[in-house]
Chain A
Amino acid sequence: MTDPGHRIPGLSGGPPPQWAAPHRVPPPQPPAGPSRPIREHRLPATILLIVTTLALFAASAVVGRPDDGRSRSPVMAYLPPSGTRVVLQTSDGKDEVDEYYTTVGMAFSQSGPSALGYGIESVEEAQTTTWLRVFVTIADAAGTVAERQTQLYAVKPTGLELRVAAWPDRFLMFKPGLLMLPAGVQPGHTWSVAGTAGLGSGAAVTLESPMSASFSATAAGDGCVVVAGDLSVGSGTAAVRSRSSMTWCQGRGAVAGSDSTRTVTAVQRPPVWGSAFQPSERGPLPDPVAGGRLEGRDMTGLPPMALAARLPPVVLPGRVLVYPNQLNGDLVARGWDDGMVDARWAAQPGGSITGLLAIDRIVVATTSERRVVAYGDQGQYLWQATLPDAAEADPVRFGRLVVVGGLDGTVSAYDAATGTLAWRTHTPNEIRQPPVVTDSGVTVLDQAGNLLTLAADGSTLASFSTEPPESFTVRDGLVVVAGRTDGVVRAYRLPDGSIAWRTPVLGARNSLTPVGGVIVVQQNDNLRALRTTDGTDAWSKSLRPTALAALGDSLVVSDVSSVYRLGADGSTLATWPTDATNLDESFTGLEVGTSDLFLLHNNQAYLWVAR
């Protein structure tokens, strides 16, 4: 600080300023040099310190990095990156979508089907081999799935070996693997394989037969090679023979093929069934009443399926739960009544799933690879789009649109049926709060408190600044924001942003949920309801809320062990206990599906059923 009113020497012409209080302890002097001369080796010391530091950073770059297996076999050059989908048109008027996933280690198996276990010779092989898994879906223009297949290949230094091909009702396994694409394959190469083929269903092999196959490669131009093969399973006159061909292209996978029943060719367009998935209006809400109960089930299917979800699953019509599997980035669909069987379907959007949304029969996932990918209710790939940055807030439905708020502040709206980008706009800062949809538009709020309310055509209905949010919601023309930097909940009027009311609410404000005429504030050990009209306290309830969902004019809330239905006045309409005591650990979600209420916690799902 400066002594005002005094001339400071050194400024405006004088010597440099020396400002120290008279009583200040004089600054310590630099230490005197060593008392006796020491050889310090300054140059080697400097070099060694630089090398050491660089080594630390080099180690940081490589240690813990997963092996993508791309350097392990020359044949990897033919395979596209994980999460790539190749759309192929079939000669019988359908489309086939092949979804590629390559990994080193066990992750390929953790969404099933169980038959993939037959492709592994030993645990050690499973852990050290590069695996290629291809999900194949064939469907017609109506979206009816004609065939679903999972293929497992071992990517060996010698080439690509087909180990297992699994359908929902049967599977075929080869020992040794069927060498489909040798390393360094050149036009003119021929090779053959002999061994055993096994036919099975469920998790058991029912028939094993000798198998032989011969292959030849021919050039197809543009870095591609056609591999034609004859496969014979069985012996003598009972042997079943088939002839097929596949065209493999560098970096693109199998782009064409044929067998005795059809031919397929890669096309650069969305699948034919896209128009079959038009989002319809939401169905009736469930009405769980006091007489019912929660029925719990573990939704993990047959081993080696291992569901490890970081986000709650979404619910599709027909009580199908779609889990985002954290272990490998798959979507895994499990029917409520399916029991201990394989998944209904699984898909690999690519990367890790960061957000999930169900719109009628459509599942939309956002991924760490800055993508939005949509599937139909049978796992039919519908469309994908690229985001400028990843999104951590769940996407939301806005009429026919899917709205995604990104960590770069971008707000993107896509047509849910086609994936066409309807509009895109920006807020200045990152968006971490899920957008809120009301009759008047979709409202997004970035972390600095820049608010936008947008119409269905992307036009701006409101734009103003609020406090940086911890959470927010929109109700009755008010944007209610729990400020992150102070203990106040404020209501701003739309569209001008003037303050309607402000109420101090100390402690965490994890979510704001509008119900009837109140806004329910989710705190760590409390629910507190503020009147929408003036922000005054309506009621509070002492419980440890783990998940909340509005259900018409009532609120469904879970604590560590039970689910409650509360009226807008705070009265308890119903209580349903669960067998869980730890709903505060990991994620817990309440999913209000069409006519159904689910409580979701890790792999456990609870469905409300009438007694």
Chain B
Amino acid sequence: MKTLAAFGRVLRDLVLLTIVAPVREGRPRTAGWPAGLRALLVLSLAVYAALTLAVVFAAPLRAVDRLIVLSRGGLVPETGAMLLIGANVFALALLLTAALHLSWWAKLLAWLLVTSVVLYFTLGASVDPPTLLWSGGGLLVLLIMIVVRWRRRYAWWEFVAVAAALAAALFGPTLTSETQRGVNVDFRGIALEGTLQAMTSMAMPALFVAGAALAQIAVSASFAGVSSSVRELPRPVIVGLAWLVPLAAVVTVVFALGDAENSPLGWVGAVGVLLVIGALATAATAAAGRPPAWSDLDEDSTALNYLVALCSVALALVGLATIPLQAVVPLLHVEALQSLLDGYNFIARQDATTSILRMLVGGVGFVLALPLARRGRPWPAMFLAAVFALAGLALVRLLSRTGIGAPVAQVAGVLTVALLVIGGWLLATSRLSRQGAVALTCGLVLCLVYPHRAILDDPVSAALGFTGMGAVLFGLIWRLLTEGEITRGDSPRWPMPARVMLYCASALLAVTSTAYVALTRQSGGDTDISIFTDAGDSLLGTPLFITAVLGCIGIAVARQAGQPR
């Protein structure tokens, strides 16, 4: 009975530490907010909830609602189209209002984004040039807003003015175009598809980070589970588990070795990439001048995740800004500008560009993080080293066309072997401390759990009737619940109201892209957001997993001063 109660406490701790505490810490706190900001947050949450419901009930909605045809043949329910267009425009208005209080480059980027969305919306009405005055007027008002509100404090009416100007720019031409009425095609599909294409680029960082949510939870849950078990469970149970976990690890490795899915090149890639990461992580800890500690692994990775995601999709974001330029530059006949655009297009088209960019993010980030490591924070450098090495392997795979890679299952397998060998060696040399044993057990549990982090994705997706939605939806809701902390800061460069509106806009953009894919059943296409969440899982989740396990190994092998053996 006592043992059962202890297991109950372990479970409670697991839930509290893994789920409740991050949510409690991460929710936005509205006290002291200026007028209108709370209303915008509540409105955003209402729209978010409606979009989430649209994802969950996409199947029945598709079955009963009229289906609108998109320009490339996709079909979206009419109610869903209204919701998606409305949510997009709302998010865009939030983004632009936030940009009024941010740096000049954010203002420029936001205005270019709006311009490209306006281009998509007014495509159908462009045969009636006078109606485009609505767009020109709306964009001009937005420009004036940017100038007039430069360095002013946030005021609630800004959102109203921005939304009105945006609505005029987007809806005015279509509403007033006689030709559009004469042709009488359903323009909503074209507008929606074009807008989503532009907005999905903006949502990419958020989707990347959402994709890493399951990885973060797997790591947290593994550590919290071991921590709580060691604390709560009776000693005989702990001893039993201490044998059971390595045994399960051995069995898993044996099965992994026999699995035809795990190719020899995968094992080679996994070993190679782990050796590189291990070497760079050792350099980072050497720079810190101390062995790894639990506090290193306790670093909140959200900000770093966003930074890495943002830099990794920088090219796509620049591409967004080039949409209006692609239309205008050829008319200007400026050779240098055209060459610049052509150069961008050439680089963006190359298969290797993504891997090279990620390598750069990881490599440059590692170098930049070394001073931080010297100040006692080696974890960001370790994480960025993993980003660098994994992107490097992806590049080798692409260029060599050999199929070499480092699938998560094989990385986990190699790490498991390393943990077992190190544990055996420490045990054999009587150097295995209690803390070391706990660290190795954490690493082993993580290696066992991590490859199955998306275990609920298939049943949830089957329940929703659509592929890949379980993990995406979970990641997005998790982000919404836990990332409100960003809204609590305030500085002249990043004022709090702008943070709140960016938080809302970013969440809305991501869930709108998700709802679009769910409502249109466009899995596998250009707009399939699971591509980005999967990329986030591999770009941010796998490095987190690897650095967490390497950290465990570091803790286990480090001589702990005063630590009882």
Contacts and interface: CB of A to CB of B under 8 A. Distances in A.
A55 interface: yes
Interface string B455-499: 000100110011110000000000000000100111100001000
B171 A59 contact: yes
Interface in A1-39: 1-8, 11-12, 17, 19-24, 27-34
A474 B9 CA distance: 52
The prevalent SS among residues of A at the interface is loop
Contact of B182 (A21, A106, A503): A106
A432 B521 contact: yes
B177 to A, nearest CB: 10
B85 interface: yes
Contact of B74 (A23, A392, A504): A392
Interface stretch (A83-91, A218-226, A287-295, A482-490): A482-490
Nearest to A39: B35
Interface stretch (A42-50, A144-152, A201-209, A555-563): A42-50
A507 B226 contact: no
Nearest to A43: B35
B521 A392 contact: yes
B13 A1 contact: no
B43 A53 contact: yes
A48 B183 contact: no
A581 interface: no
Contact of B63 (A63, A123, A126, A388): A388
Contact of A19 (B81, B187, B298): B298
Given A428-B465, A430-B465, A57 B181 contact: no
A152 B184 CA distance: 18
A50 B43 contact: yes
Interface stretch (B277-285, B320-328, B385-393, B431-439): B431-439
A428 B184 contact: no
A63 B496 contact: no
B546 to A, nearest CB: 15
Interface stretch (B158-166, B240-248, B304-312): B158-166
B260 A1 contact: no
A470 B524 contact: yes
B260 A499 contact: yes
B191 interface: yes
A111 interface: no
Given A45-B35, A354-B75, A430 B227 contact: no
B260 A502 contact: yes
A106 B183 CA distance: 6
Nearest to B32: A30
Contacts of B489: 27-28
A435 interface: no
A389 B488 contact: no
B230 A4 contact: yes
B224 interface: yes
A448 B464 CA distance: 12
B171 A12 contact: no
B214 interface: no
Contacts of A486: 407
Contacts of A507: 351
A41 B231 contact: no
A446 interface: yes
A64 B227 contact: no
Nearest to A42: B35
Interface residues of A, number: 91
A65 B188 contact: yes
Given A60-B86, A408-B59, A447-B523, A5 B186 contact: no
B403 A60 contact: no
Interface string A154-169: 0000000000000000
Given A354-B75, A507-B351, A4 B462 contact: no
A19 B17 CA distance: 10
B427 to A, nearest CB: 17
A256 interface: no
Given A105-B181, A407-B62, A60 B85 contact: yes
Contacts of A52: 159-160, 163-164
B429 to A, nearest CB: 21
A331 B68 CA distance: 19
A45 B157 contact: yes
A40 interface: yes
B261 interface: yes
A369 interface: yes
Interface string B511-549: 000000000010110000000001000000000000010
A3 B521 contact: no
Nearest to A388: B63
B223 A2 contact: yes
A175 interface: no
Contacts of B490: 28, 30-31
Interface in B20-47: 21, 29, 31-32, 34-36, 38-40, 43, 47
B171 A127 contact: no
A103 interface: yes
A8 B219 CA distance: 18
B488 A502 contact: no
Interface in A484-527: 484-488, 499, 502-504, 506-507
A48 B160 contact: yes
Contacts of A283: none
A63 B171 contact: yes
A33 B124 CA distance: 48
B442 interface: yes
A244 interface: no
A59 B89 CA distance: 10
A488 B231 contact: no
A182 interface: no
Given A31-B496, A61-B82, A389-B62, A7 B43 contact: no
Interface of A: 1-8, 11-12, 17, 19-24, 27-34, 40-42, 45-46, 48-50, 52-53, 55-57, 59-61, 63-67, 103-107, 123, 126-128, 310-311, 327, 351-352, 354, 368-370, 388-390, 392, 407-409, 428-430, 432, 446-448, 468, 470, 484-488, 499, 502-504, 506-507
21 contacts: A3-B227, A3-B298, A6-B231, A7-B231, A11-B17, A21-B296, A30-B490, A41-B35, A49-B39, A53-B90, A56-B86, A59-B171, A60-B82, A61-B82, A66-B186, A128-B181, A432-B523, A448-B462, A468-B523, A504-B402, A507-B351
Given A103-B184, A447-B524, 15 more contacts: A1-B548, A11-B17, A17-B16, A24-B300, A29-B488, A45-B157, A49-B43, A49-B156, A49-B159, A63-B188, A105-B181, A126-B182, A389-B63, A499-B261, A506-B397
The 6 closest A-B pairs by CB, nearest first: A127-B182, A504-B403, A64-B187, A105-B184, A40-B35, A57-B86
